[in-house]
Amino acid sequence: MSTMIQKNSKKLLKLSLLAIIPAISLMCNTAYADDIDDFIQAKMTEKKIPGMQLAIVRNNEIIKTASYGLSSLQHSVSVHNETVFPIASMTKGFFGVAIMQLVEQGKVSLSAPISSYLSDLPKQWKNITVRQLLTHTSGLPRIFSGHMANLIDAKGPEASWELLQSRPLESEANTKWSYVQTNYILLGKIIDRISGQPFEEFIAINQLQKVKMPITEVAGFASLKGVVPHQSMNYMYNKNGALNNIMFGFPRYMAPAVGMNSTATELARYLISLQKGELFKKRSSLETLWSPGKLNNGNMVGRNNRQGYALGWELINRNDHPSMHIGGNANSAMVIFPKDNLSIVLLGNLLGSDPRTFMNEIAGFYNADMKAENGFGLPPSIKTLYLALKTKGYKNAIEVATNLQKSKNIKFDINDINNWGYLLISQNKKSRALEIFRLNTVLYPKNANPYDSLAEAYGALGNKEQAVKFYQKALEVNPNYAYAKNARKILKAHGFAPKH
């Protein structure tokens, strides 16, 4: 009986998905669907996203809002303009603003040690600065175990917090960037202590009420734990391809890192207010909010030399169309293109769908120079190679890149090539990604990572024999590289003994 019910449930879920994907329900502030709607619906079909919500801002006015698909597959509830989405790590942006508001009030200094504001800290934490918390350069240990969103101690929040404080720093402060939720836990505690208000109240009064975000204020910081009116379900496909509900129950201390809920329209209002300087007394506060710091070695704080991390916001430094953005749970994001007077908010309910990978393409509808087909978003050297391969073909990537190195003195960075390859995979252009990863093995034959990536590309294409070959090659080049453990695990799972 239970097996029968399970089978019927799977059939109903499949029928629900089939029903929404061909003609995903759409509600816009216009009477007709446009090319952007067609684009988003195509992405939803490709990535099997049940529901999404969009808002676009131009010249500080909301010019488009739209809702697509279902917020609940189980109950066939359509996404509408007031559907609330958990925004997860996008919450960090609000806490960056909150800290800067306290800086303006003279109550907090970014350069001050956190022990100035919090007592009873482990000795090794005391000299960490407020800015280092905001920029993820504190070196603090992690509160999550690494599996989904599980805390480090199965006994619960209090035990996890106690265990966390007994662990050593992962690195010396300001020597590396590492995205660790612990940083924002402490920022929440600082706001509680210094403002004299719970952080929920401080942010509601100083941000949400000023911007007129009543739905966000009512939804609060419950994430997926509490009962929130009109809240979308969250989904994720497991390794077997089955769609599951995701319900995270976080303690209050995690809320500054992941807790808020909102709508695309209210977040669009927030971006307008932020850019107009309505949340700060000084323009310099906004500039500080969006300025990445520097590590002790002089390098910019962030994921790489182009993608910096400021106070809760990430920035992409480009000569053309720089941007700042925040993403959450790999299913929602908002991005600002300040020089183009353009902002985009895109919220979804499928974890791992990562709209950041295609939000630049939405920007391309407003500026042809920002279209993906013109190489927008790629590093300059990679853009040059991309435009050349458009005419000469990806099969000739090695030859074309070699000629560009000689004729234009271009140096291709190993990480830029690798990132481009994974971008191509995310765009379902696996054969092209294969050629890009192959190019990286030729340019950097003594580095294990390109071989590992090439193995992944072969695996994505279903070529197990070649995948095994290049996992082995990666281990031959460096038995201790970053993904060696994963490579060995994959080889053993397929009945092969790693050579090292």
Q: What is the DSSP string of 29-60?
A: SSSS--HHHHHHHHHHHHHT--EEEEEEEETT
Residue 314 pLDDT exceeds 80: yes
b/e sequence 196-235, b meaning 16+ C-beta within 10 Å: eeebbebbbebbbeebebebbbebbbbbbbeebebbbbbb
- Give rounded-to-5 percent helix, strand, coil for the chain: 45, 15, 40
CA distance 475 to 487: 8
Classified by CATH at the fold level, domain 378-493 comes out as 1.25.40
Say which range, 163-167, 203-207, 256-260, 263-267, has the weakest mean pLDDT.
Answer: 256-260
- Dump pLDDT digits (tens) for 172-226: 999 999 999 999 999 999 999 999 999 999 999 999 999 999 999 999 887 666 6
CA distance 461 to 439: 17
67: which strand partners? 27, 53
CATH code for the structural domain at 89-369: 3.40.710.10
Cβ neighbors of 296 (< 8 A, separation 6 or more) are 174, 175
- Dump pLDDT digits (tens) for 384-443: 999 999 999 999 999 999 999 999 999 999 999 999 999 899 888 999 999 999 999 999
- Give the pLDDT confidence score for residue 75 in this predicted structure: 92
CA distance 3 to 36: 42
Quick one: tokens of 448? 């294990």
Q: Which of 32-46, 61-75, 310-324, 467-481 has the highest average model confidence (pLDDT)?
A: 61-75
Q: Are 47 and 225 in contact, with CB atoms under 8 Å apart?
A: no
Torsion region of 495: left, alpha or beta (phi above 0 gives left; psi -120 to 50 gives alpha): left
Domain definitions of the chain by residue range: 89-369, 378-493
Q: Are 135 and 313 in contact, with CB atoms under 8 Å apart?
A: no
CA distance 329 to 347: 10
Q: Read off the pTM.
A: 0.81
**% of the chain residues with pLDDT over 70:** 91
Residue 365 pLDDT exceeds 60: yes
| φ, ψ for residue 293, nearest 5 deg | -85, -175
- Give the pLDDT confidence score for residue 128 in this predicted structure: 98
- Give the pLDDT confidence score for residue 181 in this predicted structure: 94
